[in-house]
Structure 1
Amino acid sequence: MGPWCTPWLWLCLHGVLQAQALVPLPVQPPLSQFHSEQFQGAWFILGLAGNAFKKQDRPLLNPYTAIFELKNNTHFEVLNSMIRGKHCDTWSYLLMPTPQPARFTVDHGGPSIDTEHVQVVDTNYTSFALMLSHRQAPGQPVIRVSLLGRTWTLPPGTPDKFIRLSKAQGLMEDNIVFLVTGRGRGRGQWSWQTQCSCMTAPPQP
Structure 2
Amino acid sequence: MALGLLWLGLVLLGVLQTQALDSTPNLIPAPPLRRVPLQPDFQNFQGKWYVLGLAGNEFNKEKHRQFKIYATTYELNDDNSYNVTSTLAWNQTCDHWLRIFIPTSRRGQYTLGNIERYTGIQRYVLRVAATDYTQFAMLFFKKIYRNQEYFKITLYGRTKELTPKLKENFISFAKSLGLTDHHIIFPIHQCMDK
2:193 maps to a residue whose letter is T
Structure 2 vs 1, CA of residues 51 and 91 (structure 1 numbering), >3 Å: closer, same or farther?
A: same
| Identical columns (%) | 29
> 1:112-161 CA distances to partner (integer Å, 9 max, x unpaired)?
54201111101011110000011122343101000100002245511111
2:193 equivalent in structure 1? 200
Structure 2 distance, partners of 1:149, 1:108, is: 27
> 1:38-88 CA distances to partner (integer Å, 9 max, x unpaired)?
x10000011111111210122452111001011115111001001123111
Tell which has more relative contact order, 1 or 2 (C-alpha 8 A, sep 6+): 2
| 1:79 equivalenced with 2:74 (yes/no) | no
Question: Which 5+ residue runs of structure 2 have no aligned equivalent?
Answer: 1-21
Structure 2 vs 1, CA of residues 60 and 40 (structure 1 numbering), >3 Å: closer, same or farther?
A: same
1:54 to 49, 52, 60: 60
1:18 equivalent in structure 2? 25
| 1:135 equivalenced with 2:143 (yes/no) | yes
Structure with greater strand share of residues: 1
Contact 2:140–2:153 (CA under 8 A) maintained in structure 1: yes
2:155 maps to a residue whose letter is L
TM-score when normalising by structure 2: 0.78
Structure with greater helix share of residues: 2
Structure 2 vs 1, CA of residues 133 and 23 (structure 1 numbering), >3 Å: closer, same or farther?
A: closer
Structure 2 distance, partners of 1:82, 1:49, is: 17
Which structure has the bigger radius of gyration?
2
Partner SS state of residue 48, structure 2: strand
Partner SS state of residue 175, structure 2: helix
1:99 equivalent in structure 2? 105
Structure 2 distance, partners of 1:140, 1:111, is: 15
1:144 maps to a residue whose letter is K
